[in-house]
Structure 1
Amino acid sequence: MAQMKILAVETRDKDQVIDITDTVAGYLRDVEPESGLCTVFVPHTTCAVAAMDLDPGTDLDLLEALRRLLPAIRYRHPHNPDHAPDHILATLIGPSLTVPYAHRRLLLGTWQRIVLVELDGPRRRTLHLTCSG
């Protein structure tokens, strides 16, 4: 049977990468089964989750590279065209990430961290964590 927890994260900048690895790892301390898959999902259209290296500066590299991917076009988003790029970038990264865990420990690579990528902050973001065996 899957277990679920809802968490909140406060972002402080328009574009921001927030390391949520320890938050997710802390949730695993009490889950059953002790091995399985943990999915992190954000129910928002202008932020995303990913696994990445967080050596100093790589967060800023990611954000700058993402913004440079966007073409200079006339966006047609109905309530605010300036907001359209935020939706597009969040779609490219994705709203969820699934990570295996064993003995209540995330099976991430040596340099991998789980991150929330904020693209329209500052905001209060909701994370849905679901673990199942």
Structure 2
Amino acid sequence: MKILAVETRDKDQVIDITDTIEQHLRNVQQENGLCTIFVPHTTCAVAAMDLDPGTDLDFLDALRRLLPPIRYRHPHDPAHAPDHILATLIGPSLVVPYARSRLLLGTWQRVVLVELDGPRRRTLHLTCSS
């Protein structure tokens, strides 16, 4: 397992981590297999998405509009509850096959970290298996 750190700079942010993951794959013994990316945080997530200019901001805007204006009961900080809910909807992990040390993503797909409560230092756990 490899642990990587990612620094976020905004409250809501999409960060392309594809190249970082592929750099790690070049040092893995198995040239082919599955790469699992996991974030051990409750207010960020990982996903595969299109990153054409502006789609990151469209995604973040759409996410924030998904949740209804309800009274949240999160005891720590009710205003923080939507961050937890959105991170749960996206998910803390992603599994991507790889071959010849490259992720087998679609033409427009990139692997991203979705920050929902930044800025923060986030941890990624990468596990590669055949």
Structure 1 CA distance for aligned equivalents of residues 46 and 29 of structure 2:
24
* Matching residue within 63, 70, 73 for 2:70: 73
Q: 1:29 aligns with which of 23, 26, 31?
A: 26
SS at match of 2:26: helix
Q: Give 1:84's aligned residue.
A: 81
Give the equivalent residue in structure 1 for 2:116: 119
Aligned CA-pair RMSD: 0.4
1:48 maps to a residue whose letter is A
Letter paired with 1:8: A
SS at match of 2:62: helix
Alignment pair present for 1:45 and 2:19: no
Given candidates 9, 12, 15, the residue that maps to 1:12 is: 9
Contiguous gaps of at least 5 residues in structure 2: none
Structure 1: any 5+ residue segments left out of the alignment?
Answer: none
Q: Percent identity among equivalent residues? A: 85
Show CA shifts across 1:64-95 (max 9, x none): 00000010000000110000000000000000
Task: Tell me the distance in 2 between the aligned counterparts of 1:58 and 1:104.
Answer: 27
**How far, CA to CA, are the matches of 2:62 and 2:6 in structure 1?**
24
- Runs (4+) of structure 1 exceeding 2 A deviation are none
CA distance in 2, matches of 1:98, 1:89: 19
Q: Calculate the TM-score normalised by the size of structure 1.
A: 0.97
Q: Which secondary structure state, in structure 1, belongs to the residue aligned with residue 80 of structure 2?
A: helix
